[in-house]
Amino acid sequence: MALDFDSEPLMIRCPFCGNKFEETISRLKYCPKLSCPSCARHVGVNLLELHAMLESARKSMDELLEKLLKFDRGIGRHSGASHLVERRQIRRFDQRPSRGTPNPDEG
């Protein structure tokens, strides 16, 4: 499953004045040279680091999705098994002993 982070905001800290500001990942990919809104100095974004970070995030999300899908499949099997147990209990409840036959549930 391909994840698209392009519209997600990223917090940038100006190395000159320390001001923090947001830019979208898409903007950083296509225009890695920014101007700090506070001091107006140019801030460069390392595209190799940005792409490595995005790839790491994609990989982590893919792994998480795979675990969730496996967990969901496991829940589905478990739910089915518990459903069978419930049906057996209902069937036992409906099969009441006839008169004269002692009920093992009654003490």
pLDDT single digits (tens) 43-99: 999 999 999 999 999 999 999 999 898 887 776 555 544 444 444 444 444 444 455
Q: Measured between alpha carbons, how far is 22 from 99 in angstroms, rounded to an integer?
A: 79
Helix-then-strand count for the chain, H and E: 2, 4
**Cα–Cα nearest to 15, from 39, 31, 32:** 39
Flag whether 56 is in a domain: yes
Count of structural domains within the chain: 1
Q: Contact, 20 vs 12, CB < 8 A?
A: yes
Flag whether 2 is in a domain: no
Flag whether 89 is in a domain: yes
Flag whether 70 is in a domain: yes
Flag whether 106 is in a domain: no
Flag whether 107 is in a domain: no
> pTM to 2 decimals?
0.54
Q: Provide the domain limits for residue 73.
A: 9-94
